[in-house]
Structure 1
């Protein structure tokens, strides 16, 4: 049995089914999706979860697990530029994944010295990827002792254990470039000046390997995987809530609000603390100490359309470090840096003719430490006004919105996400790699999802499903 029909659960189910296992997939919501839900409202298809898709080979591998070809079920489009960075001085930087083209862009933007630094940066993050992916990301690891020592030595030599901002800064002199090539650490829940250099590998994933978008929106991935799962006889039980899991002779009893099911093995894709609550006896699941920052998300249709071009836009405040310190210290950003996506630039069918889809993500404190004291119910209306003013100032007229979703950390909490963050536990040094919550929690019992290994992000949770499947098969 696989509990949870999000991306991790669908991945685990298809990898298990491909190995010849009978699989039942249980989901408490009436439709699959988890943190990648269907946000269709009044003819607008809205992304209410992840918006950045990288490492599409990992997605293709899920289809291939049952002998299917991804392109038969899903159409992906490359996004170029992957991002457009906007800086307080009014300058903009299109961030292309073609290395030669980006060299010329950087040279025009900041001079030939930084363009040469960009070339060295690309080679460095690719070397980091070549070390980290096979040895620390794409395999099951049982503690520090199971790490390959030569690979660990190479990681150290590549400055993977030093500070990420210093690593990136060694390649670029222009502060704007340092910001543009280090923001990716936020994807793993840590500010660049607090993240380890190893997380520069995320730059290889999106700024070198490329960013894609599925036609039909991110939920189209869920729809395609669920359809393939059903076609290959994975039993989907939707609208059924798991209440407890108890060891039984040779396996487990899974108690839901509908029935008691018998299973030889179970994969849980919820957050680790939720998984611990479902287990009737003490488990090796350990509570995480540090959550990732949360976010305030505005997603809506814009019937009048939006000016400009480009799919993903990064808007940096005057002091990026100050803004991120606000978030980690439990304060709302005073001078926010934020992400805006306009997916109708890539797929116009997401909106009625003439309209656009807007997705704006503003980092915010998790409901942890000082951030737990923020009264989001009181702050909701003034912060929404603040977000709209910032968007207007950045060039997104948003006076008329259709099907608006405005989601705060309090809303993420109501959706069952610990600490009010959709990004799980942060990838601090003590919560990464062999130190992250292990996915093996008992015989025939495994975790998948962003709270376990390898971590946060669409390709990571897809990998987590496969690694969990390997655990229970083993």
Structure 2
């Protein structure tokens, strides 16, 4: 494995998102002097938060899988969940899905519970087909994780040069994992609605299920079989815990430190400068900025990248009594429209051909159902369904996510369009039985492709470069930067890709490019067996 050239004792990490914190903790664990520079006043990056008038809500990722990766990071820093005050709750079910015909399905990670649920909504034969699908997803995940996700590639030829990777590649070929994910899932489970539950996750990788490679079956396996978790206090609690562990281990974390320039001597970065005039000398740099923002740091961006679809995300509050009357009561609800292939044709189209979903599939997130401390009691007179007058009313945070095309696919005027489109989405939900959402959902913050673009994200998408074959695995933008001897990339735009587990791995892989193989570095607490399996609460 190639590593950066020359000395690497002083490392500057640009960005305190999950990838930056992961890289920083691993590097600090090797005894290096590490400084993290973050332009915001809090850690988290895309796992951020929006502060409303009397509440706080996650403004980025809301789905956590593989929490064992967080345990590994904490252990490197000599900490545990308990020592940093981080409580991670397993969601059961992980999701509830609702289809246009009114069918509701709970998605369980336990195989027997999920088989029973499939039998309930279909029949015992469908439950057996589900078990076969689950076995296939597990085999894909096990072949892929260690050799293709948690690994650095120096060349695509590594897949055939290295025996372990060659064996994993052969297994994936036998599994048919280089065919298309959607059709494979459909053949195994043979039910169009159920197939959506185990293939919509391809959107996380920026692809329509019918176009995504079967290797992305690893994502629905993590999502529907290994389970979805929630950190008490919100996803932002993970970033806070990692940041605290890093500084407790001796690292330096500077907030409101907006990096504006990196100085180079020849091909080596020498100094990182912030907008307030400070200079940070360095032997190596880890840059976690979006891949669309690399040129501002004197780094080349790969040409011809195709971006993932984007999203419109509304954050606000809703009266709890209104939300409790909706057709589904769950932390995560996926409300599917009737259309499926057409939806992806619209949002995942090529340049200039994208369109808004004509029949939306939407994600509603109600974190207070898992974390009651997020409920809000506001002074407000109202009459409950029993006719009783109350002086206060309970509210809860709510997020609504609607996938949409990125700005390359559809250069829409979001500044003017956004409020009208939000009203249309809320009216659609109202028609689907979510009574009162159009009148009572108080939206305090709305993200669109335009706001993502303003934050420097590629083509206005928070999901970075799509996982086309030519942008996947060893073909994805490398974390070693051409023409720069001591600069490494981390984050969703580089290897291994998009998602909370993958960006955590990306930070680890970036640290390995500086420090070498971290598997031989000492873990300061918690044994390896405890790290390998996530705690169950």
TM range (shorter): over 0.9
Residue of structure 1 in register with 2:272 after alignment: 254
Deviations 1:23-62 (A, max 9, x none): 1101112222211222232332211100000011111111
After TM superposition, the runs of 4+ consecutive aligned structure 1 residues lying more than 6 A away are: none
- Contact 1:42 / 1:403 at 8 angstroms: preserved in 2? no
2:107 to 95, 105, 113: 95
Residue of structure 2 in register with 1:290 after alignment: 306
- Contact 1:114 / 1:171 at 8 angstroms: preserved in 2? no
With normalisation by structure 1, the TM-score equals: 0.95
**CA distance in structure 2 between the partners assigned to 1:12 and 1:350 by the alignment:** 31
Deviation at 1:156, TM superposition (A): 1.1
Residue of structure 1 in register with 2:531 after alignment: none
| Aligned partner of residue 461 in structure 1, secondary structure | helix
- Contact 1:409 / 1:420 at 8 angstroms: preserved in 2? yes
Residue of structure 2 in register with 1:301 after alignment: 317
| Aligned partner of residue 314 in structure 1, secondary structure | strand
| 1:332 corresponds to 2:351 | no
**CA distance in structure 2 between the partners assigned to 1:89 and 1:251 by the alignment:** 58
Residue of structure 1 in register with 2:338 after alignment: 318
- Contact 1:15 / 1:469 at 8 angstroms: preserved in 2? yes
Q: Which runs of 5+ in 2 are unaligned?
A: 1-11, 160-164, 378-393, 517-537
Deviation at 1:403, TM superposition (A): 5.8
| 1:455 corresponds to 2:473 | no
1:425 to 465, 489, 502: 465
Deviation at 1:233, TM superposition (A): 2.2
Deviation at 1:402, TM superposition (A): 4.3
1:64 to 56, 75, 80: 75
Aligned-residue RMSD, C-alpha: 1.6
2:295 to 263, 268, 276: 276
| Aligned partner of residue 239 in structure 2, secondary structure | helix
| Aligned partner of residue 157 in structure 2, secondary structure | helix
Deviations 1:147-198 (A, max 9, x none): 2212111111111110011110121122111112111111111010110011
- Contact 2:291 / 2:458 at 8 angstroms: preserved in 1? no
| 1:108 corresponds to 2:120 | yes
With normalisation by structure 2, the TM-score equals: 0.85
**CA distance in structure 1 between the partners assigned to 2:181 and 2:223 by the alignment:** 16
| 1:400 corresponds to 2:440 | yes
- Contact 1:291 / 1:425 at 8 angstroms: preserved in 2? yes
**CA distance in structure 2 between the partners assigned to 1:303 and 1:98 by the alignment:** 32
**CA distance in structure 1 between the partners assigned to 2:273 and 2:52 by the alignment:** 34
Larger radius of gyration: 2
Q: Please list, as runs of the form range in 1=range in 2, the aligned pairs for 1:382-401 lying within 5 A after superposition.
A: 382-396=420-434, 397-398=436-437, 399-401=439-441
Residue of structure 1 in register with 2:6 after alignment: none
**CA distance in structure 1 between the partners assigned to 2:239 and 2:141 by the alignment:** 27
- Contact 2:310 / 2:460 at 8 angstroms: preserved in 1? yes
**CA distance in structure 1 between the partners assigned to 2:444 and 2:280 by the alignment:** 39
When structure 1 is superposed on structure 2, of 142-151 and 10-19 the one drifting more is: 142-151
2:190 to 173, 180, 187: 173
| Aligned partner of residue 29 in structure 1, secondary structure | coil
